Amino acid sequence: MPASTPAPAYSTSFDPQTGVAVPVSPGIVRVTAPNVGAYTFTGTNTYIVGERAVAVIDPGPDDEAHLTALTHAIAGRRVEAVVLTHTHRDHCGLARKLMATTGAPLWSNGPHRLSRPLKPFEFNPFGRAGDFRLMPDRVIVDGERLEFDGIGLEVVATPGHCANHLAFAIAGRPELIVGDHVMGWNSTLIATPDGDLRDYFASLDRVIGLEQSLYLPGHGGAIADGREHARALKAHRSMRNGQLLAVLEGGPKSLRQAALAVYPGLKGRLLLAAGRTLLAHAEYLERQGRVVVRRTLLGIRLSLV
């Protein structure tokens, strides 16, 4: 890692005030769902944008308590759209019920899709994480500008965590609603084939190049210097590439062996997630002609070229 780029400064001290509408910026409030977990930290953040009429960004998991909290926060105002950063169920699970109760349309970058097709002998352990059947009323794409009660949201395509991931830059202001693309409490899960590391690197460069620097993530608290944090995350991922290459210098490894070497001490679901992320690194290096990924009925093996 370059000396000029510090390691990511993760913060796990966030108090979500679950179920409470917390103002985070003029015209933007956050309501955190009660889905605490290893992958979701203190819960999914829903953002309500606007004053008289609103947009609800990432309605969160299918949870009745969260639906009640959102209903109280909306307080009878017109919901112009339910908008998604992406279609993982912890972000979109409540969409259908919220649409039914408010009459609002759904806007997203399409139904869930993989970053690449499944390969022979491949099983996707996170296959149920995304909602492949949730069809938007309007497909929104990179470069569009959305308006909600005088607040402009510029759509920024940020694939990597998953193929249909979007961020929303608040026009003329410092806020960027980043979903799961950048988070302050941990690095983002890139679980191939759901996600793709090459796309993730490109999307990090994309948000680093924007003028917005106050990141509002899908989990955890706001990130005050988001661009610098994104630079550190990119350097961290590059460091992981180097670690994987160093492990494979000792000879071919199963994916599990490599994951245990790069992420010592992890177990269970966290080790599973680390393994899928490490596979994304291996596929990234495979494209560069540096690593070979072999899939068989017995599992995945990695080796240097």
Q: What is the CB neighbour count within 10 angstroms for residue 6? A: 14
Q: How far apart are the first and last CA of the chain?
A: 23
Q: What is the arithmetic mean of pLDDT over 5-20?
A: 89
Q: In what order do the strands lie in the sheet containing 53-57?
A: 22-25, 28-32, 45-49, 53-57, 78-83, 106-108, 138-139
Tokens 């240097």 belong to residue = 304
Q: What is the arithmetic mean of pLDDT over 167-174?
A: 98
- What are the distances in angstroms from CA 198 to CA 12, 153, 238, 281? 27, 26, 11, 9
Would you state the pLDDT for residue 5? 52
Name the band, by pLDDT with cuts 50, 70 and 90, for residue 2. Answer: very low
Question: Each residue of 244-262: pLDDT tens digit?
Answer: 999 999 999 999 999 999 9
DSSP track, 254-299:
EHHHHHHHHSTT--HHHHHHHHHHHHHHHHHHHHTTSEEEEEETTE
- What are the distances in angstroms from CA 76 to CA 23, 66, 95, 251? 18, 16, 17, 62
CA dist., res. 76 & res. 154, Å (int) = 26
CB-based contacts of 246, cutoff 8 Å, min separation 6? none
Above 60 in pLDDT, residue 89?
yes
Would you state the pLDDT for residue 7? 79
CA dist., res. 232 & res. 235, Å (int) = 5
Would you state the pLDDT for residue 27? 97
CA dist., res. 95 & res. 105, Å (int) = 10
| CATH superfamily entry for domain 22-234 | Ribonuclease Z/Hydroxyacylglutathione hydrolase-like (3.60.15.10)
Q: What is the phi/psi pair of residue 226, to 5°?
A: -65, -40
CA dist., res. 263 & res. 270, Å (int) = 10
Q: b/e map of 141-154 (b: 16 or more CB within 10 Å)?
A: eeeeebebeebebb
105, 81 in Cβ contact below 8 A?
yes
Question: Each residue of 215-230: pLDDT tens digit?
Answer: 999 999 999 999 999 9
Would you state the pLDDT for residue 209? 98
CA dist., res. 198 & res. 34, Å (int) = 32
DSSP classification of residue 41: B
DSSP classification of residue 104: P
Q: Which two tokens stand for residue 201?
A: 């690197």
**Residue 12: which H helix or E strand, with range?**
none
CA dist., res. 28 & res. 49, Å (int) = 5
Would you state the pLDDT for residue 3? 41
Would you state the pLDDT for residue 143? 98
Q: Considering only CA atoms, which of 100, 210, 120 is closest in space to residue 158? A: 210
Above 50 in pLDDT, residue 1?
no
Would you state the pLDDT for residue 144? 98
Architecture of domain 238-304: Orthogonal Bundle (1.10)
Residue ranges covered by each domain of the chain: 22-234, 238-304
Type of residue at 52: R
Above 50 in pLDDT, residue 81?
yes
Above 80 in pLDDT, residue 117?
yes
Would you state the pLDDT for residue 142? 99
pTM over 0.75: yes
Would you state the pLDDT for residue 6? 64
Question: Each residue of 190-211: pLDDT tens digit?
Answer: 999 999 999 999 999 999 999 9
